[in-house]
Structure 1
Amino acid sequence: MPPADDHYVLPPFAPARAAALRGRLGLTLGQVAWAVAAYCGSPVHPGLVEAWENGTATPESGHVKALAAALWCSPADLVGEAATLAQCRTVAGLTVSETATALGLTRGQWEDAERRDRWQGTPAQTDALLRVLCPPPACYVAACGNSARLRVLLREAATTWWPPYAEALARIVPLDPALLRHALERLHLTYQRWEGAAGGSPREAALAEARAADFLERVDLYLWHEIREAVNPPRPAS
């Protein structure tokens, strides 16, 4: 856990993860509340823990750490995907100094990267960043300042023909090129289905046009969804 003088910032709390972990451990809301209170040194009502699990209340970072202790897990197990370099470091459980050393930077250089949420390291430092902090692809692309470029590339690939854009995508997103080609093809097929529906009735055509426009507006989010589905396919219902 980073020391008090380091910026400690976790990704957004994931209520479903907390509820699932408590369920697997067979703990009651009261038991978890008691453990959180013992860790924090102040009373915690079982209703508050239930609100965290329902998503109607959001725990502060101190409560997330206490909840993790109560559920015998890491705080990283109770949060969503990291979206910034600072969040990546916090999830990795590293101090600013440890991170800087591991990446071949000075402390000041890494502090500046966190403050601006921008990454401009050398190829060797970038390899270390990907290995040590394992930033999610969306976080890495944003930190490199390539989000706008990515959206343009994806829109062109979806609306024209995707194969010529696969190599350019691989230069932006640090993932297996085969995985990226699969995701790019899926995006293209999805958009083309909505384009094809534009020849139906006026109502169907308008709906398809709206969906196609929304797809292009959020095409990068669809890319990340396709990648997550490929890496962690949904389990079949039992």
Structure 2
Amino acid sequence: MPPTEDPHVLPPFAPARAAAIRTQLGLTLGQVAWALTAYCGSPVHPSLVEAWEAGTAVPENAHVKALAAALWCSPVDLVGEAATLAQCRTVAGLTVNETAAALGITRGQWEDAERRNRWQGTPAQTDALLRTLCPPPACFVAACGKSAQLRVLLREAVTTWWPNYIGPLTRIVPLDAAVLRHALEHLHLTYQQMEGATGGPPRQAAEAEARATDFLERIDLYLWHHIRQAVNPARPTS
């Protein structure tokens, strides 16, 4: 599907953020529903707003835009972390043309990058991408096609001498070495604790081994979770 100039190609809706903003404003579900009805031109019941906040229903992009207006905030305040290059552009509030110009590439090149969610720019263009769009680390690594390489490095790091892997990881993940060092040390200790529990009684050992295996299988997800918590622990994420 080709990229679009629609500025509301948003990341996934974050129910907890919407609920938190409404609560901070002191608005009731009914008041928000009334405002939404005015913006949308069709009836919106308070139960629908409640379902959005509970995560049992997902608003369409048009409804997210209307909800943002009702809550006096930006649509970006109501969504989660960007997972694609197109979503990063949306969060940055840029058009396709503006993004291409900022990165020093053609419109067609950026459209192709969005369509495939794959980034293959030069070092200078990559620096511009990081400055302009500020992609979340997980999004950037995936767009560069290095998720598999990252998992390999992380598994080796937590099962061996983790400090040796700080350098290789900084060449993949666009984060300060100190942040990666703290995260990697945490993952290493977590895995070592799991490994230590495999020496207990058979049933407990089997459960510990299963947890350790699952940890290694999804270790990149644990890395991103730890980094998000470390960078912004107070912000609602769902």
Query: What TM-score results when the alignment is normalised by the length of structure 2?
Result: 0.94
Residue 81 of structure 2 aligns with an amino acid whose one-letter code is E
Contact 2:5 2:96 in 1 (8 A): no
Residue 63 of structure 1 aligns with an amino acid whose one-letter code is H
Structure 1, residues 53-88: CA drift from partner, whole Å, max 9, x if none?
111110000000000010011111101100000011
The sequence identity of aligned pairs, in percent, is 81
Q: Where in structure 2 are the equivalents of 1:82-101 lying within 5 Å?
A: 82-101=82-101
Structure 1, residues 91-143: CA drift from partner, whole Å, max 9, x if none?
11111111111111111110000000000111111111111111000000000
Structure 1, residues 3-36: CA drift from partner, whole Å, max 9, x if none?
x744742111111111110000011111111111
1:227 alignment partner in structure 2: 227
Q: Where in structure 2 are the equivalents of 1:124-163 lying within 5 Å?
A: 124-163=124-163
Say which SS state the counterpart of residue 121 (structure 1) adopts: coil
Q: Where in structure 2 are the equivalents of 1:1-238 lying within 5 Å?
A: 5-6=5-6, 8-233=8-233
List 4+ stretches of structure 1 deviating above 6 A: none
What CA distance in whole angstroms lies between the structure 2 residues aligned with 1:57 and 1:229?
26
Structure 1 8/65 Cα, relative in aligned 2: closer, same or farther at 3 Å?
A: closer
Structure 1 233/64 Cα, relative in aligned 2: closer, same or farther at 3 Å?
A: closer
What CA distance in whole angstroms lies between the structure 2 residues aligned with 1:210 and 1:199?
13
The Cα of 1:231 is off from its aligned counterpart by: 1.6
Q: Which runs of 5+ in 1 are unaligned?
A: none
What CA distance in whole angstroms lies between the structure 1 residues aligned with 2:10 and 2:234?
26
What CA distance in whole angstroms lies between the structure 2 residues aligned with 1:8 and 1:232?
24
What CA distance in whole angstroms lies between the structure 2 residues aligned with 1:40 and 1:232?
33
What CA distance in whole angstroms lies between the structure 1 residues aligned with 2:16 and 2:81?
14
Between 1 and 2, higher relative CO (CA 8 Å, sep ≥ 6) is seen in 2
Say which SS state the counterpart of residue 94 (structure 1) adopts: coil
What CA distance in whole angstroms lies between the structure 2 residues aligned with 1:234 and 1:161?
32
Say which SS state the counterpart of residue 172 (structure 1) adopts: coil
The Cα of 1:43 is off from its aligned counterpart by: 1.4
Bigger mean CA deviation after superposition, 73-82 or 7-16? 7-16
What CA distance in whole angstroms lies between the structure 1 residues aligned with 2:112 and 2:8?
15
Q: Aligned residues, how many?
A: 232
What CA distance in whole angstroms lies between the structure 1 residues aligned with 2:232 and 2:19?
20
What CA distance in whole angstroms lies between the structure 1 residues aligned with 2:67 and 2:61?
10
